[in-house]
Amino acid sequence: MTLRQKTICFIVGSLFSGSTLLGNSLNGSPEVIFLGETDRLRYFRRYENCPDYYVDQSILSENNHMPCEFWNRAFLTRLKWLSTAEAFLEIIERTGTSIVLDGSKNIDWLIDLYPSLIEKYNVVAIVSARNPFAFCSSYRKLNQVSAWAAAEVWRNVYSHTLRCLSSYSIPNILIRYEDFALDPERFLQQKLTRFLGIPFHPQMMQYWQVPNYALGGNTGAYLQFQQFQHAKLDPSEQWKPEYYHNKPFGGWVSERWLDVLDEDQIAEIASLDGVMATAFNLGYNLTALIRQHRDKQLLGNNGLECKSC
């Protein structure tokens, strides 16, 4: 990695991979700003077929119905007249940190921007991974599709992501949600800060005390912010405050897939061509996960969190 003024780091991977939690924790460093899912800005016009997916302000500002200091209207209007590359460069220069963290989880977004960034900045990536069973459980609930269809999405996202990173020789680090959620401090101290070339800051473990301007993401990762108003959550997300109540940052892993998926769905996911190989490339042992699911079914344990997997 060359010595340049700024490093642009892209979180890439799938939905439900803990990227918002990861980004928020890194945002606790005074040397990092987490911008969230910048590809969803209306001014980039990447989702014309899904206009409801667009965002115009940070989650905290939207939740409080307050103007966002970073994504203010004057700045966003200026982006309207620029190309995608020019607009993203404007966003970067607006930041005052040495690390700019994009949480779009979109490898194509990274590749589209890469030529305009690499001449001036360090460009690196964090691969945010989730095991295929957990992903499929959440994806099926959101989109009402079969386990097979969800598994195909998971496989395609990660195989494409890993292939692109390799093809462009983009420095990257793999962070599995299951490992990070269980012991975030260790991963922040020993892996992520070293990868980014910055010191560890205790505020990373209390990220909710630091200003946050991230776009989009999982609202569950904002519940600890004092200014976040739980009552204003969308009705479909009203379960989150109770579910996350008294759960610390670290020490537990959401493993609802163990109770949601049945044996046939587990087999359907694992048997899809390419899933086993992609999981292996991400460091997952599907045989062990299948055994964990079988043991859970035999025990009939209704707990939702796994503290040792």
**Cβ neighbours of residue 293 under 8 Å, at least 6 residues apart?**
133, 257, 258, 261, 263, 266
d(CA 26, CA 289): 29
- For residue range 139-176, what is the model confidence (pLDDT) as tens digits? 999 999 999 999 999 999 999 999 999 999 999 999 99
Q: What is the pTM of this model?
A: 0.94
Q: Taking 50 as the threshold, does the pLDDT of residue 306 lie above it? A: no
- For residue range 54-72, what is the model confidence (pLDDT) as tens digits? 999 999 999 988 899 999 9
Chain centroid, CA 253 distance in Å: 15
Mean per-residue pLDDT of the chain: 94
- Cβ(45)–Cβ(135) below 8 Å: no
Instruction: Considering the domain delimited by 7-131+153-247, tell me its CATH architecture.
Output: 3-Layer(aba) Sandwich (3.40)
- For residue range 232-289, what is the model confidence (pLDDT) as tens digits? 888 889 999 998 888 899 999 999 999 999 999 999 999 999 999 999 999 999 999 9
- For residue range 36-45, what is the model confidence (pLDDT) as tens digits? 999 999 999 8
Q: In 3D, which of 185, 147, 160 has the Cα closest to residue 269?
A: 147
Give the DSSP H/E element, type plus range, for residue 279.
Answer: helix 275-281
Strand intervals (E) in 166-291: 172-176, 253-254
Q: Taking 80 as the threshold, does the pLDDT of residue 50 lie above it? A: yes
Dump the DSSP string for 50-95: -GGG-B-S-HHHHHHT---SSS-HHHHHHHTTS-HHHHHHHHHHH-
* Cα Dmax for the chain: 60
Q: In 3D, which of 233, 219, 246, 309 has the Cα closest to residue 21?
A: 219
The helix/strand count (H/E) of the chain reads as 15, 7
d(CA 174, CA 298): 33
**Cβ neighbours of residue 242 under 8 Å, at least 6 residues apart?**
none
How far are the Cα atoms of 96, 120, 165, 267, 285 from residue 294, in angstroms, in the given order?
A: 50, 51, 35, 11, 15
The pLDDT of residue 236 is: 87
Q: Give the model's confidence band at 308: pLDDT under 50 very low, under 70 low, under 90 confident, else very high.
A: very low
The pLDDT of residue 301 is: 52
d(CA 232, CA 217): 16
137 token code pair: 């459980």
